[in-house]
Amino acid sequence: MQETLSVPNEVAVELAGIGDGVLESLRDRLRCTIHLRGNRLTIEGDEAHVGQARTVIDEIVDLVEGGHEIGPSTVDAVLGVLDKGEDVRDVFEDVVWRHRGKKIAPKTVTQKRYVDAIRNHTVTFAIGPAGTGKTYLAMALAVAALQERQVGRIILTRPAVEAGERLGFLPGDMLAKVDPYLRPLYDALYDMLEADKLTSYMERGIIEVAPLAFMRGRTLNDSFIILDEAQNTSPEQMQMFLTRLGFGSKVVVTGDDTQIDLPRDQASGLIQVQNILSTIDGIAFIRFSHEDVVRHKLVQRIVEAYKSHAEETGTQRQK
């Protein structure tokens, strides 16, 4: 069957302006022939696929009109939400932070559950592959909490594990040596705040980015604290970090337990903590999968391929 839809001009411009990436994704995922001429979309295929394509396009129209950025991954995101019987608006309209006209909001059902978990729990663990938005969403929530004066400062930390390089050979003092490990956190912050405001916050200690070793001996009150790359903590480091929690604070721990840079005989604190704290009230564990990867669709396939290889060869880390 064939069906022709008229879409608003701004939606047609959005679709045409990104090299037909969304339309290509629709064709791939829904097995329909789809053409855009002006503001008219023609869909051709069997009845079931045409109906599904129409539903997804209607949702994409609503997202564009609501000010959301769209891309090829939007199709997968919308389909994922619909497949799980969720309301697309409940997921995509839960805007965590706005900056320069950009909206940061969940793009999958698991991301929405993650955002809700952070809001409703004192400590939240997010475990899953790269590209699932674990750190980025947590940082957006932290910036929002700071702006709304729910907390007085943000503390971002990572373990400085030598992933194939020796710190001793890097130039500079200790802070200069660990800067490459912390750089992704700075990059995300610049995505969410004006440069002058971020500089002011960091100079005044309102936002602190530091290696995990700098957390020892401190009690962190009235803070939003994020531990990133937690798979590279030892059990002792994980315990040390979690016991820094003070009054009025919130903690988010993110990591990928399939990408551990520790020696094979070194236990990961992120793997161990799941067995120790999973039943404690006030602590939430959210697990992401390759289906939640919101980067290039090839990244999703790479993640799944490595996961399958580890399972087949028995090379995955044991809990």
Cα 283 to Cα 123, 225, 257, 263, 271: the distances in Å are: 5, 14, 18, 28, 15
* pLDDT tens, position by position, 179-202: 777 788 888 899 999 999 999 999
* pLDDT tens, position by position, 109-125: 999 999 999 999 999 99
Query: What pLDDT score was predicted for residue 165?
Result: 39
Query: What pLDDT score was predicted for residue 163?
Result: 40
Residue type, 216: R
Query: What pLDDT score was predicted for residue 218?
Result: 93
33 vs 300 pLDDT, higher one: 33
Residue 137 has pLDDT above 50, yes or no: yes
| Arithmetic mean of pLDDT, 254-271 | 91
Query: What pLDDT score was predicted for residue 164?
Result: 39
Residue 90 has pLDDT above 60, yes or no: yes
Query: What pLDDT score was predicted for residue 150?
Result: 97
Q: pLDDT band at residue 295, thresholds of 50, 70 and 90?
A: low
> Domains, the chain, ranges and CATH?
2-92 (3.30.1370.10), 97-313 (3.40.50.300)
| Arithmetic mean of pLDDT, 139-166 | 84
Query: What pLDDT score was predicted for residue 174?
Result: 52
Residue 70 has pLDDT above 80, yes or no: no
Compute the CA torsion angle 179, 184, 188, 193 (nearest 10 deg). 10
Residue 233 has pLDDT above 70, yes or no: yes
| Arithmetic mean of pLDDT, 140-161 | 93
Going by C-beta distance under 8 Å and a sequence separation of 6 or more, which residues neighbour residue 15? 7, 22, 23, 36
Residue 97 has pLDDT above 90, yes or no: yes
Query: What pLDDT score was predicted for residue 166?
Result: 45
Distance CA 34, CA 42 (A): 6
Residue 170 has pLDDT above 50, yes or no: no
| Arithmetic mean of pLDDT, 233-250 | 96
Of the candidates 164, 283, 139, 141, the residue with the CA atom closest to the CA atom of residue 232: 164
